[in-house]
Structure 1
Amino acid sequence: MTKRRVVVTGLGCIAPVGNTVAESWTNLLAGQSGIDTITSFDASPFACKFAGEVKGFDITQYISEKEARHMDRFIHLGMAAAIQAVQDSGLKTNDALSPEEATRIGCNIGSGIGGLPMIEATHGELVARGPRRVSPFFVPASIINMISGHVSIKYGFQGPNIAVVTACTTGLHAIGLSARMIEYGDADVMVAGGAESTVSPLGIGGFAAARALSTRNDDPKTASRPWDKDRDGFVLGEGAGVVVLEEYEHAKARGAKIYAEVSGFGMSGDAYHMTAPNVDGPRRSMTAALVNAGVNADEVQYLNAHGTSTPLGDLNETNAIKNTFGAHAKKLIVNSTKSMTGHLLGGAGGIESVFTVLALHHQKSPPTINIFNQDPECDLDYCANEARDLKIDVAVKNNFGFGGTNGTLVFKRA
């Protein structure tokens, strides 16, 4: 079977830097950090007291208060981003769809951890008041596939209804696997991405105990500093990013605006360590994506990196990029938007794919902020501290996760 072309026709984003795609993009280009002292709970006893929280978000702008009560916050964020993306795409929904059309639209919106705040709160209720006080909505409010489920129900989308869970590669894998479904005929349209909301006592406590988080409590806005010599760990963030993927001829036939083409997708496993990175796994993921796209390494101009601001991870990704792109690595613009959003875990690949598509669409690279003293071992062009106009025909997006899971997407200019 001939592989069908897949394009991006809708974008949605709820992020620490903005509650819409336009607001987020404007703030990214301006180098505005969304990271600050935690407000959702008292973080004073914790080693890390700051995060990239979503601010001023009101789920009742998207769904009813009654519906919202039966969902964890990660579902709220994912639903809102999906609704934005569907509206942006101009897709028909519900009764406007024919029975056949409804079966050709699917959902694949994942999360790395799921309803952690709901689990924490319900456990507290169980301990304090006993098992009869556990809500009958607890399980569907917490499980990861319920973003896809709720979006499907809201819009009458009866195609594939799944959710990917691959730690910090979740959102990217969801988009890549959804593109594959369209390429090989399982669907004509997929609503895909990732969401996360783990800025909570257990979320902060768990990552802090693993010594993964920055502890730069005196200056949160400069704490996420990918490729800086003084980086000391990642900053936890929350939010969601969702794209509408569509078969090219289907999009053309309905006159949809096309942001970019998803031309390649690669995956790999390190088979190395639970949490420590390995250079060869990311290299194989990037190489597989380029081969799948039919793109030579020297045809790529922009790479939105995983770039978490961890001492080992940033160096590892730099070396993997150099091993993949050879001499051309020095000509790439390599960018980490995590410097402004923090690390959204399962939501990272969602929002960062949105940002990569916007970089292609607007021909601009956002800055990597907080590079005050670039690590000499991290010796690529990271678009330090200021956005840059850039001719981008091909862009690459990386995400990597615990367990040695790696994913790479290749986007082409529409």
Structure 2
Amino acid sequence: MRRVVITGIGIYSCLGKNLDEVRDSLFKGKSGIILSQERKEFGYRSGLTGHVEEPDLKNYLSRRQRLGMAEQVKYAYLATLEALEQAKIDQDYIDANEVGILYGNDSCVQPVIEAIDTIREKKDTTLVGSGSIFQSMNCTTTMNLSTIFRLKGVNFTISAACASGSHSIGMGYFLIQQGWQDTIICGGAQELNVYSFGNFDGLGAFSIHESDPASASRPFDRDRDGLIPSGGGATVILESYESAVKRGAPILAEVVGYGFSSNGEHISNPNKDGQIRSLEMALRQGNLTPKDIDYINAHATSTQVGDYFEAQALGETFDGCNTPVSSTKSMTGHECWMAGASEIVYSLLMMQNDFIAPNINFANPDEASEKLNIIAETKEQKLDTILSNSFGFGGTNSTLIIKRFKP
């Protein structure tokens, strides 16, 4: 089995529009959450959201190329440009080699609504526009990016709720490990428009702590009252070790473990046993013990039930290890389909810069989180091995482990 390394990363999120901005936000414990009056006026119970500015790509792409891009594709495009540049992969290399793409995405709400509204009003489907179908399909990100970058390798979308981005990296890891591909663009993208989270809000899943947006996301804290939606795009370039060495590419880290499971029970409520099986599988894959993990980037979204079960799963799996834990969602909110990929980017930035980003707003533990070593303030520490969890509706669980690269 071949070693799988990371040669490039890119990010466009509420913490910043590039790696440097995001690194600084993580270190400072800076929140990217705001109160949106547009959402309140639209009818949302909670107007809290991560703030991500939609980019103008006129200086990057032709009108024809932009025509079929949904909102989240724009974020993913810029993240991918940054990752490819860091990996030293140019268009000539892509044209001469099989480079694949696996990207997490699980909704395209706005273009669907806008298309149906046009048809209802005009009674004429031809007025929808030629780009609408490509914006509306769940594979809009892989469809657009594979065309723009002229990719010739594996090409499909991972749709797995809030574990989508993580599973995309896990599946890319498997394909490269087994020798099917040498290079894959992996990642996750999440739309953030006013249409995209209305049904979540209707479930009462969102925090209503609107008086102080920056303190509203409180993973693991006893007083948490719900998650906050966020979005953007995150890209991770996976490559076989042999390919990276042959190209003289920078090797940022190595992917050493991927665990997955299904809870097999309730469609929205998590359970501890499924999460533990995912954690244990990732550790076995990496030939690691719990004591080998230097830091855990938790899934914890700031919901009562979700954080409680994850704290229990981590408490049992890492019993006696005192492993540092934090949830970057305390700063970003829940980036949903993107989160599993963005949190690998966040984790790698911590590894490169020797610090643990804080679980901000953590003041009072509950009976489960009090057993964890929650890092509430930025901590400078060398990190060699990091584990990242992602869980989603339908009981899908994903765990990734990355390691500081050693030849």
Interval containing the TM-score (normalised by the shorter chain): over 0.9
**180 and 269 in structure 1: CA distance in 2 versus 1, 3 angstrom threshold:** same
Aligned partners of 1:138, 1:97: CA distance in 2, in Å?
A: 28
Structure 2 equivalent of residue 187 of structure 1: 181
Measured in 2, the distance between the counterparts of 1:226 and 1:184 equals 37
Gaps of 5+ in 1: none
Equivalent residue number for residue 16 of structure 2: 18
Corresponding position of 1:163: 157
Please name the residue that 1:71 is paired with: 69
CA distance in 2, matches of 1:270, 1:261: 28
Q: CA deviation at 1:366?
A: 0.6
Show the 5 A alignment for 1:89-100.
89-93=87-91, 95-97=92-94, 99=96
Gaps of 5+ in 2: none
Amino acid at match of 1:10: G
Change (3 A) 1:96 1:325: closer
Query: 378, 382, 387: which one pairs with 2:374?
Result: 382
Q: Residue 4 of structure 2 aligns to which amino acid in structure 1?
A: V
Cα distance, 1:357 vs structure 2: 1.5
Rounded Cα–Cα distance in structure 2 between residues aligned with 1:279 and 1:311: 14
Shift of the alpha carbon at 1:55?
2.6
Report the more deviating stretch, 130-139 or 396-405.
Answer: 130-139
| Alpha-carbon shift at residue 217 of structure 1 (Å) | 1.7
Q: Which letter does structure 2 place at the counterpart of 1:358?
A: L
Of the three residues 116, 120, 131, the one matched with 2:109 is: 116
> Structure 2: which amino acid aligns with 1:177?
M
> Deviation at 1:131?
3.1
Report the counterpart of residue 140 of structure 1 in structure 2: 134
SS at match of 2:365: coil
What CA RMSD, in Å, does the superposition of the two structures yield over aligned residues?
Answer: 1.6
Q: Deviations over 1:278-331 (max 9, x none)?
A: 000010001000000111111111000101000111111010011212211xx1
1:196 has 2:196 as partner:
no
- Write the distance in 2 (CA, Å) between the matches of 1:51 and 1:175: 26
* Paired positions, count: 403
C-alpha separation in 2, matches of 1:60 and 1:53: 22
Alignment partner, residue 131 of structure 1: 124
Aligned to 1:260: 253
Matched, 1:372 2:366: no
Please name the residue that 1:107 is paired with. Answer: 101
CA shift for structure 1 position 334: 0.7
Q: What amino acid maps onto 1:63 in structure 2?
A: L
CA distance, structure 2, for counterparts of residue 59 and residue 282 of structure 1:
40
Structure 1 pair 312/57, CA: closer, same or farther in 2 (3 Å)?
same
> 2:100·2:152 contact (CA, 8 Å) conserved in 1?
yes
- Counterpart position of 1:34: 32
State the TM-score, normalizing by the size of structure 1: 0.93
The percentage of aligned residue pairs carrying the same residue is 33
Contact 1:62–1:83, Cα closer than 8 Å, also in 2: no
Report the counterpart of residue 285 of structure 1 in structure 2. Answer: 278
What SS does the aligned partner of 2:185 have? strand
SS in 1 for 2:245: helix
1:183-218 Cα shifts (integer Å, max 9, x gaps): 0111100000110114423x3321111111111122
CA contact (8 A) 2:165 2:187 kept: yes
Compared with structure 1, are the counterparts of its residues 351 and 160 closer, same or farther at alpha carbon in structure 2 (3 Å cutoff)? same
- C-alpha distance after superposition, 1:46-92 (max 9, x if no partner): 21112002136333354334432332101111122112111111113
User: Would you say 1:236 and 2:229 are equivalent positions?
Assistant: yes
Task: Give 3-state SS (helix, strand or coil) of 2:197's partner.
Answer: helix
